[in-house]
């Protein structure tokens, strides 16, 4: 069977450049039109999209469905070219001021060869989402696109903390200090929602990262940026300790971890081997990150959880591994 034709050369992917200064999109304002795309898996129930649109309107924004949003192809939200066409259309649409991924799942990486990167670069606007949307975040960074937002998908629960974090970054040009919430526990010391220092210290660099599994799968492609000087942030779900070890080994041997300024490992939801393991997640992270000689900590409040920080990709930040915090040093908006 013949391979699918690639896009025209003008929109084709170039080799990943070194981390440089990223273009910042305009801030989102009340009344703005927000594009809705499903670049990966399909929603199970059409009513989910109704709830998504209600959530967007509750933020004071106007939802706009991409043309192929209701398409289905197996577990995917349409053919690869159809999902890429929606990405291209929403970036090209001058009325659309930002783009929300409805959900993650799997499949965004399959659409990347059909994205028109010239259109993406020429129309800086926020792409918002997480999990499998990491593939788009990384590709946009590698191909010289604008700052994007690793935050809730449009179909996420959108609790108060998530809304406030997103609005602060995208609407208000905030430069927050990201620190975990305080657990309301009847305990002498806090046990839940703790951060754990892997190696202490402070460092500055651009924030780049997302889902570990998705990011690792891009190694060796033109869709993974150069992480030299970056603060790498990672999260995952349903991965046993040995698989986390395997992926970090691959990233290390591929040179991705070399030259980092710092590392933040967020929430790893259900990341435990049911049969037991002689290595804990913390011990695996120490094996891979301590020897880098850079600040690193785990347990930050982002990932597959009900509320999470919105973290801008490509924005200068400072890590304080002793305090378990990240602080933006510049706004994400122009």
Q: Assign residue 70 the CATH number of its domain.
A: 3.40.50.10740
Active-site residue 304, yes or no?
A: yes
Question: Are 190 and 241 found together in one domain?
Answer: yes
d(CA 298, CA 212): 13
The answer as to whether 2 is a domain residue is no
Question: Are 138 and 181 found together in one domain?
Answer: no
Question: Are 250 and 311 found together in one domain?
Answer: yes
Question: Are 22 and 166 found together in one domain?
Answer: yes
Per the residue annotation, which of 155, 239, 304, 318 is the catalytic one?
Answer: 304
Alpha-carbon distance values, 309 to 178, 213, 233, 254 (Å): 7, 20, 12, 29
pLDDT digits (tens, 9 = 90+) for 38-91: 999 999 888 999 999 999 999 999 999 999 999 999 999 999 999 999 999 999
Average pLDDT of the residues in 239-257: 96
The answer as to whether 334 is a domain residue is no
- Does 7 score more than 90 pLDDT? no
d(CA 206, CA 150): 13
Question: Are 319 and 242 found together in one domain?
Answer: yes
The answer as to whether 154 is a domain residue is yes
CB 214 within 8 A of CB 111: no
Active-site residue 137, yes or no?
A: no
Per the residue annotation, which of 38, 53, 82, 235 is the catalytic one?
Answer: 235
Q: By percentage, how much of the chain surpasses pLDDT 70? A: 93
- The DSSP bridge partners found for residue 298 are 196, 265
What value does the mean pLDDT of the chain take? 92
d(CA 107, CA 333): 28
Average pLDDT of the residues in 193-198: 94
Question: Are 105 and 207 found together in one domain?
Answer: no
Question: Are 113 and 249 found together in one domain?
Answer: no
d(CA 34, CA 97): 6
The answer as to whether 93 is a domain residue is yes
pLDDT of residue 151: 97
The answer as to whether 4 is a domain residue is no
pLDDT digits (tens, 9 = 90+) for 118-140: 999 999 999 999 999 999 999 99
pLDDT of residue 313: 98
pLDDT of residue 176: 98
The answer as to whether 198 is a domain residue is yes
Q: Which of 145-154, 183-192, 319-328 has the lowest mean pLDDT?
A: 183-192
d(CA 181, CA 261): 25
- C-alpha atoms less than 13 angstroms from C-alpha of 290 in its C-beta half-sphere: 9
Per the residue annotation, which of 41, 131, 155, 165 is the catalytic one?
Answer: 131
Considering its fold, how many domains does the chain have in total? 2
Pairing type for strands 262-269 and 230-237 reads: parallel
pLDDT tier at 24 (50, 70, 90 boundaries)?
very high
- Does 321 score more than 80 pLDDT? yes
Q: Which among 170, 194, 217 is the end of a domain?
A: 170
The answer as to whether 117 is a domain residue is yes
Q: Which residues of 55-94 are buried (b: 16+ CB within 10 A; e: fewer)?
A: bbeebebbbbbbebbebeeeebbbbbbbbbbbbbbbbebe
Torsion of CA 321, 324, 330, 334, to 10 degrees: 130
Reported residue count of the chain is 334
- The residue segments making up the domain with residue 104 are 18-170
CATH number of the structural domain spanning residue 251: 3.50.30.60
pLDDT of residue 13: 60
Entry pTM: 0.92
pLDDT digits (tens, 9 = 90+) for 148-175: 999 999 999 999 999 999 999 999 999 9
Question: Are 161 and 183 found together in one domain?
Answer: no
Q: Which among 170, 195, 219 is the end of a domain?
A: 170
Alpha-carbon distance values, 191 to 188, 238, 321 (Å): 9, 22, 18
Question: Are 208 and 265 found together in one domain?
Answer: yes
Question: Are 261 and 125 found together in one domain?
Answer: no
- C-alpha atoms less than 13 angstroms from C-alpha of 286 in its C-beta half-sphere: 10
Q: By percentage, how much of the chain surpasses pLDDT 90? A: 86
Active-site residue 275, yes or no?
A: no
pLDDT of residue 5: 39
Q: Which among 154, 170, 186 is the end of a domain?
A: 170
Question: Are 137 and 187 found together in one domain?
Answer: no
pLDDT tier at 1 (50, 70, 90 boundaries)?
very low
Question: Are 183 and 317 found together in one domain?
Answer: yes
- Does 14 score more than 70 pLDDT? no
Token pair in block for residue 105: 């799942």
The answer as to whether 10 is a domain residue is no
């Amino acid at each position: 069977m013949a391979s699918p034709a690639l896009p025209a050369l003008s929109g084709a992917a170039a080799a990943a450049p070194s981390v440089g200064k990223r273009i910042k999109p305009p801030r989102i304002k009340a009344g703005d039109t927000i594009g809705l795309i499903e670049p990966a898996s399909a929603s199970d129930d059409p009513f989910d999209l109704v709830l998504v649109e209600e959530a967007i309107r509750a933020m004071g924004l106007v939802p706009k469905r991409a043309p192929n949003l209701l398409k289905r192809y197996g577990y995917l939200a349409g053919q690869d070219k159809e999902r890429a066409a929606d990405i291209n259309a929403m970036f090209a649409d001058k009325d659309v001021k930002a783009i929300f991924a409805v959900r993650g799942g799997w499949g965004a990486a399959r659409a990347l060869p059909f994205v028109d990167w010239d259109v993406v670069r020429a129309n800086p606007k926020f792409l918002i989402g997480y999990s499998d949307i990491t593939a788009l975040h990384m590709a946009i960074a590698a191909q010289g696109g604008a700052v994007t937002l690793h935050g809730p998908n449009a179909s996420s629960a959108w609790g108060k903390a998530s809304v406030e974090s997103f609005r602060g970054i995208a609407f208000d040009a905030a430069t927050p200090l990201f620190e975990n919430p305080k657990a309301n526990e009847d305990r002498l010391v806090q046990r839940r929602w703790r951060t754990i220092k892997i190696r202490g210290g402070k460092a500055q660099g651009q924030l780049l990262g997302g889902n570990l599994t998705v990011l690792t799968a891009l190694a060796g492609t033109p869709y993974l940026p150069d992480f030299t000087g970056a603060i790498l942030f990672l999260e995952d779900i349903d991965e046993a300790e040995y698989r986390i070890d395997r992926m970090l080994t691959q990233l290390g041997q591929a040179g991705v971890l070399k030259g980092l300024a710092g590392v933040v490992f967020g929430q790893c939801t259900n990341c435990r081997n049911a049969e037991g393991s002689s290595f804990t997640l913390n011990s695996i992270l120490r094996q891979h990150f301590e020897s880098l000689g850079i600040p690193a900590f785990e347990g930050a409040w982002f990932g597959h959880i009900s509320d999470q920080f919105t973290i801008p990709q490509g924005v200068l930040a400072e890590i304080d591994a002793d305090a378990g915090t990240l602080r933006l040093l510049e706004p994400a908006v122009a």
